[in-house]
Each structure stands twice: as structure tokens, then as C-alpha cells.
Amino acid sequence: MTEKTPLHDIIAARIAQQGRITFADFMGACLYEPGLGYYTSAGRKVGAEGDFYTSITVHAAFGRVIAREIAQMWRCMDTPADFTLVECGAGNGRLACDIMDFLAEREPEMYRGLRLVLVEKEPSLEAAQRDMLAAHVGRLEWLAPEEFAAGGFTFSGCLYSNELIDALPVHRVLRTPEGLRELYVTLKEGEFVDEIGELSTPAIAEHLQRVAVELHTGQQAEVNLNGPEWLAAASHALRRGFLLTVDYGYPAEELYTPLRKTGTLLCYYRHQTEENPYIRLGLQDITAHVDFTSLIKRGEELGLQKVWFGEQYRFLMSAGIIEELEELECSSMSDEEKLRLRLTLKKLIVPQGGMGDTFRVLVQSKGVADPKLLCQRRIGF
């Protein structure tokens, strides 16, 4: 039975009016309907009291390693006097705080000309970000996603995001013997159900062509048109510098392998996974793994060079997590605390099954000749 959350009637009314809606519209309402969506309603989402963990909640070392790489980006750009950091999908500001703390402490020259622009779909998170980043308040600015997408904002520096793209609404498709079809959402006897129809937009087939994917008959998958669209806005905003995207996902050939017959759509509710997106509307998170090939290819069309792409554990190892660990351990920690720290950081980098493997990092650049980043260092593994 579908639980009748307040969102249920709103979505049901839309379906009654239109006959059916795309899964992307359904997911968009479940996550972002003002005041009622998963991300746009009250309550902790991330961490022990929420529904899932992200790398940020594991340890500040994650943000500090990213900060090391950002400082290296600044050097690759010849240490400009002004450098802008932009975080999209900034949540409660935890990652931004870890990055800013590191830069204030270790990179005073860079920090002097630093500003941080926070872009977050849920406006009420601004208060949490203001509290979290109180030590850096003079450097903070906020920008609504709509303004970011509108094209008036430009900057030079680095735009980073953690688990943004997987939270953008996706279309669902199915390869039938007659060709590629879309899975819509409709209502049957009061329950939300799938309905197969023609593609709602030719952009879906174009997207799969761009990443050279042909689904097998019977194979179901997700297509994220919002990711490349967001990248176009990001690329437009970036005059010179870098984009750093962290998320879970795969290159297209791995994401759309025929072995993955039903796609990667997954819901999270209180640290349990759930396959049915048609329950607990607005109360459970809905995500799909990111197709990194589409971000790389779209980026190339937009004038963004791929600098580095790989697993999070490789990124963290090359960019300085061992140095972070060594520095943390130098302080007056007991042996038990040191062990606990090592076990915690292991979660971020363990290659098999941990966050280090499923999560990928993509670094793209614009207008920086032959950058030498920390993640490009050769490490013996």
C-alpha cells in the first residue's frame, strides 16, 4: 500500500490531469516539492540520525584532502590574488567548513583572497551553513540554483560538489523488442505504477547515443538529463579554473552493462535500502548512480578538459590522505584513538565495497594549461 503522505495527493492530482508523468517529474516532486520533498522538508537527512552517510560525515580528513587539491589548483593557476570556491548542493555546509578551515590554517596567502559561494536547492539550509561556517562569515555568499542556471554568475576558481548529481531527477527507460521506451508513472486503483510509453523527449535517445550505449532487449536503466544540463551551467559560470565532482557512479559502459538489468535506482530510509520508489513519498531518498561518461563527453563539448577521473580511494591516496593521517596521529592521541581514526579513514579508502570504490572523482579544467594536480601523482598501487 502506498502511504498517503501529503505529497501523494499532489502527485496524484498531476497524474489525473496529465494521464501520466515522467519518472523524472515524479522523482523531482518526491525530492524537491517545496516544503514536502525529501530535501525540501524538515529533518536530518545525512549522518547517524538521517537516512544515509556521505564521505563528509565520515571524517573531516575527506574535506581536508579536497582542500589540499584545491590549493594545488590555485598554484596551477599561478596563485591569483582572488580565488572563488563554489559548492553546489552544499547541504549543511560541513564539507565547505572542513575545506575553509584547512585553507585558513595552511594556505593564508590563498585564504586572503578567497570567497565561497554556496548553491543549495533548499533555502532553509542557509541558516545551518551560516552557523557551520561562522568562522569564515565575511567570505560567504549565497546563490539560488535558479540564478546559477540563469547564466549571470561567473567566477574564476574551483566549483566542487559531493553527491549532487545522484540526487538529480532521472528518466527511466526500457529496451523493448520494438525499441527504446520510457517508463512513466501513473495511478491504478490508488497505487502508483509504471506505464510504458514512447520517449517523452528525443534528448533521452541522444544521451545514450552520446555515450555510445545500446541497451539490450529487456534491460531497464536510468537516464540523467539534468546532470549534463547542470554541467552546462557550471561550465558557463566557470571563466577559468576547475570543476571537481565526487559521486557514486560508473563510466557508461559499466553503468549500462547488460548485467545490470534493472538499472541502479535505489531509495534510502533510515539507513535501509528500498527498491520501491512509490512508497513513503517525500520521506525516503531516491537516487541513481551517475553516468560519468556523459559528464566527460558533455564537458568536452563545452570546452572542459578532463584532467583526472577515477575511484575516490585513488584520489584520496594521491592527494594526501596518508599525510592527513600522519599529521592527525602526531597529536597527543592515545593508541586506542589512533586505531579508531585509522578504522574511520579506512571507510573512505577501502577499495573493495567501501566508499573508496563505488565513489568516483572527476576533475575537469578550463583555461589552465597542462595542470599538475596532486591526484595525478603516481602512487604505488
Q: Which residue has its beta carbon closest to ligand SAM? A: 89
Q: Among 7, 28, 41, 54, which residue sits at the site for ligand SAM (rule: CB under 6 A)?
A: 54
Q: Which residues contact 196 (CB under 8 A, 6 or more apart)?
A: 174, 176, 181, 182, 183, 184
Burial of 272 (0-12, 13-18, 19+ CB in 10 A): exposed
Nearer residue to ligand SAM within complex by CB, 15 or 24: 24
Q: Rank residues 57 and 201 by Cβ distance to ligand SAM and give the closer one.
A: 57
- In the complex, what is the shortest distance from the CB of residue 117 to ligand SAM, in angstroms, rounded to a whole number? 11
Contacts of 158 (CB under 8 A, 6+ apart): 70, 73, 83, 84, 85, 86, 241, 242, 243, 244
Q: What is the nearest approach in angstroms of ligand SAM to the Cβ of residue 165?
A: 9
| Nearer of residues 162 and 219 to ligand SAM, judged by Cβ | 162
Q: Does 46 bind ligand SAM (CB under 6 A)?
A: yes
User: Scanning residues 133 to 152, which ones bind ligand SAM (CB under 6 A)?
Assistant: 145
Cβ partners under 8 Å of residue 165, min gap 6: 224, 226, 227, 230, 245, 247, 249, 290, 295
Give 39 or 77: the residue with its C-beta nearer to ligand SAM: 39
Cβ proximity to ligand SAM, 72 vs 287, nearer residue: 287
- Nearer residue to ligand SAM within complex by CB, 31 or 76: 31
Which is closer to ligand SAM, CB of 287 or CB of 365? 287
User: Closest separation between CB of residue 238 and ligand SAM, Å?
Assistant: 15
Chain Cα centroid distance, residue 184: 24
Residue 88 touches ligand SAM, criterion: CB under 6 A = yes
The DSSP call for residue 155 is E
Q: Of the candidates 56, 67, 85, 97, which one interacts with ligand SAM according to CB under 6 A?
A: 56
C-alpha cell read off for 141:
555568499
Torsion over CA: 44, 49, 52, 56 (sign): positive
Stretch that binds ligand SAM, among 163-171, 180-188, 205-213, 296-304 (CB under 6 A): 163-171
Rg (CA), the chain: 21
Q: List, in order, residues 6 or more apart from 311 with CB less than 8 Å away.
A: 351, 356, 357, 359, 360, 361
State which of residues 39, 62, 184, 268 lies at the interface with ligand SAM (CB under 6 A).
Answer: 39
Task: Say if residues 303 and 235 touch (Cβ distance below 8 Å).
Answer: yes
| β-bridge mates for residue 262, sequence order | 220
Query: Which positions touch ligand SAM (CB under 6 A)?
Result: 39, 46, 54, 56, 88-89, 91, 119-122, 145, 162-164, 167-168
